[in-house]
Amino acid sequence: MKNVRNISIIAHIDHGKTTLSDRILEITGAIEPRKMRAQYLDSMDIERERGITIKSHPLRVFYKSKKDGQIYEINIVDTPGHVDFTYEVDRSLAAVEGAILLVDATQGVQAQTVANTYKAVEHNLEIIPVINKIDLPNANITETELEIEDLIGIPGDEIYKISAKEGTGVEELLEAIIEKIPAPSGKDEDKLKALIFDAKYDKYRGVIVYVRIFDGSVKSGDKIMTFSNKQTYEVVEVGAFTPEMKKVDSLNAGDIGYIIAGMKEVSMAKIGDTITSAKDPTKEPLPGYKEVKPMVYAGMYPGIPEYYEELRKALEKLKLNDSALVFNPDHSPALGFGFRCGFLGLLHMDVVKERLEREFEMAVILTAPNVEYKVVLKNGEELLINDPAKFPSESEIQEVYEPYVKLSIITPPEYLGKLMNLVQNEKRGTMISTENAGFERVVLNFEVPLAEIIFDFFDRMKALSRGYASMDYELIGYRKSDLVKVTILVNKEPVEALSMIAHKDKAYTMARKLVDKLAELIPQHQFEIPIQAKAGGRIIARSTVKALRKDVLAKCYGGDVTRKMKLLEKQKEGKKKLREIGRVSIPQEAFLALLKVGEDENS
């Protein structure tokens, strides 16, 4: 039996995964106390600021067991908690034998706790349930115990209780990991089989492939092959995550670590692919896992049109590290040259936009996101459309299908009515079932169009349930739907970048809200600007931006030249994110007006 244990920590967002990993690093002496800072593992700035984990960070620690005095290598794969990034949970779970199921004692079992537990069960993992944050005065340990018991049938006295923040119970948990999680079963002598569970691009070293070695071993100088496309590479370095990357002589069966082998792009290291030996390859690859597909699409244009090339380079660099990001060149009459981008969800979209701004100093204009529709034309042709501008005309369309998800919401019963009303009456959802989820908690299962939940659903749900409800969703396929394209005309000119696809029953209300919002967001000009929404060949809503009387300089009573200059400079600055459509300047916010329409309903 090898003294190795590989685990993952799964939990709902904010239940304390990163804090627990931090504490383990500290207790095992992997990081000197003076270097320790909170959220050591959340290395991206955006991660630390928003307090969310986006990329998974593996780490290796050594722990001397108090029971048998032996030293154990424990590899921990941290996982992200936000629903946009759940695919990373699957990757991590495929690389380990056991999971710590971490539940916040003040929050209890939440939607992602349930979703992730099911995933761990699917991967046949040994699960150790843990209640965290027991130091908090409002910790509800007994109720949380009952909820966990209900979820996985493990009795309360076998559930570990810890404070990841203060360290209480963490050593006992480490002992439990050694005792309860099975050691890896592979053999060093067998043919190499390593699972790629992540990959990162490093400016200086090229692609760093994160692997779990199932069988065999690998060291520098070895010739390896990626199973899916039979590409071969020579290994330059292998190492472990301590958590900093540290070179080791070899990685053996059961280990988690990294391989650097001269790959130029992250796409060469396909997540879920098997790495084997080029000389003596395995015949059977490891079972891979689902490829990540974007859920939402949006147009992205450089803030200043001339910066198209720079934006392309920046996106390419981001993509080196973010294989979930998809982009293709696009052109819009209103916005010029840009890209059609695919994202995992709105948080992912936000993160990409923010990284472009911070890391590449690229201001970008984003258009309202939408899902991918399937359109069957009268001539039998089938199209996948992720850009409303490319939606065929009504006369050509036979049928339209849209993606649906299974949505699960966990809520205290008092909010049940409001939430059902939200999903069924406002979001075109159908209730499938309700279940009791232990103490004072109900699970509601719905089938809902994906388009209805990507925008403001999460915030609406939180507002209606005073923060208590939580949600999770997964794609279940396409369903036929009655959809129409709504085109927006600004000053009588169609602006495709503002168009949207809406359900027939909602097209009118959405169009009404959208034109009103646009009228608020588009600044006044010297002339009146009509804003119209058109669907099925008719104008269905209209709003107006009134003409401006005075010009900005009128404020300055002639005299003060510097003030005048400043004002003009400021206007120029402001214009960077404006686009001229005919004679009208449209600001960035207007292109996201569709998202803002939802915001009003929250207030």
Ligand X SMILES: Nc1nc2c(ncn2[C@@H]2O[C@H](COP(=O)(O)OP(=O)(O)OP(=O)(O)O)[C@@H](O)[C@H]2O)c(=O)[nH]1
Annotated binding site for GTP: 14-19, 132-135
- Cβ proximity to ligand X: between 81 and 403 the closer is 81
Q: Which is nearer to ligand X, 132 or 277 (CB)?
A: 132
* 345 contacts ligand X (rule: CB under 6 A): no
Supply the DSSP symbol for 182: P
What 3-state DSSP class applies to 395? helix
594: closest CA among 482, 523, 506? 506
SS3 sequence of 234-269: ECCEEEEECCCEEEECEEECCCEEEEECCCCCHHHC
- Under the binding rule (CB under 6 A), the answer on residue 165 touching ligand X is yes
8-state DSSP, 386: -
Q: How far is the CB of 348 from ligand X (least distance, A)?
A: 14
**Residue number, 3 or 39, with CB nearest to ligand X:** 39
* Nearer residue to ligand X within complex by CB, 82 or 319: 82
Say which DSSP state 119 is in.
H
- Judged by CB under 6 A, the stretch of 131-139, 223-231, 271-279, 543-551 that binds ligand X is 131-139
Residue with Cβ nearer ligand X (19 or 370): 19
Using a 10 angstrom Cβ sphere, with 0-12 exposed, 13-18 middle and 19 or more buried, the burial of residue 358 is exposed
Does 470 engage in binding with ligand X (CB under 6 A)?
A: no
Residue 11 binds ligand X, judged by CB under 6 A: yes
Give the interface segment with ligand X, choosing from 6-14, 189-197, 280-288, 318-326 (CB under 6 A).
6-14
Of the pair 139, 326, the CB lying nearest ligand X is at 139
Give the side-chain half-sphere CA count within 13 A for 229.
9
User: 133, 355, 579, 596: which one contacts ligand X (CB under 6 A)?
Assistant: 133
Alpha-carbon span 553 to 311, nearest angstrom: 35
Would you list which residues are annotated within the binding site? 14-19, 132-135
**350 near ligand X, judged by CB under 6 A:** no
Minimum distance of ligand X from residue 167's CB (angstroms): 9
**CA 489 to CA 199: how far, in whole Å?**
45
Q: In the complex with ligand X, which residue's Cβ is closer, 52 or 295? A: 52
> Which of 52, 103, 111, 522 touches ligand X (CB under 6 A)?
52
Nearest Cα residue to 11 out of 82, 76, 87 = 82
Please spell the DSSP secondary structure of 10-78, one letter per residue.
EESTTSSHHHHHHHHHHHTTSS-GGG--TTTT--SHHHHHHT---S--EEEEEEE-TTT--EEEEEEE-
Contact 208, 216 (CB under 8 A): no
Closest separation in Å from C-beta 141 to ligand X? 12
Interacting residue with ligand X among 6, 8, 28, 53 (CB under 6 A): 53
- Nearest residue (beta carbon) to ligand X: 81
Q: Out of 3, 14, 401, 516, which residue is the one contacting ligand X (CB under 6 A)?
A: 14
CB of 8 to ligand X, least distance (A): 13
**Quick one: which of 6, 10, 17, 130 contacts ligand X (CB under 6 A)?**
17
Asked whether the beta carbons of 113 and 103 are under 8 A apart, the reply is yes
Q: Which CB, 132 or 140, lies closer to ligand X?
A: 132
Cα 577 to Cα 222: distance, rounded to the nearest angstrom: 51
Nearer to ligand X, 80 or 243 (CB): 80
For ligand X, the closer of residues 65 and 168 by Cβ is: 168
User: 346-360 and 308-321 helices cross at what angle (nearest 10)?
Assistant: 120
Peptide bond just before 369 cis, omega within 30 deg: no
Helices (H) then strands (E): counts for the chain:
15, 33
Site membership for ligand X, residue 18 (CB under 6 A): yes
Other Cβ atoms closer than 10 A to 509: 13
Window of 132-140, 212-220, 532-540, 543-551 that interacts with ligand X by CB under 6 A: 132-140
One symbol per residue from 87 to 126: x for binding ligand X (CB under 6 A), - otherwise; what is it?
A: ----------------------------------------
For 71, counting Cβ atoms within 10 Å of its Cβ (0-12 exposed, 13-18 middle, 19+ buried), the class is exposed
Q: Which stretch binds ligand X (CB under 6 A): 9-17, 495-503, 515-523, 584-592?
A: 9-17
- The stretch near ligand X (CB under 6 A) out of 8-16, 203-211, 242-250, 584-592 is 8-16
Interface with ligand X in residues 24-43 (CB under 6 A): 39
- Contacts (Cβ under 8 Å, ≥6 apart) of 488: 494, 495, 498, 499, 500, 514, 515, 518, 531, 532, 533, 534
Site string for ligand X, 55-94 (x = CB under 6 A): -------------------------xx-------------
Give the whole-angstrom CA distance, residue 397 versus residue 483: 11
Give the binding site for ligand X (CB under 6 A).
11, 13-19, 39, 51-53, 80-81, 132-133, 135-136, 163-165
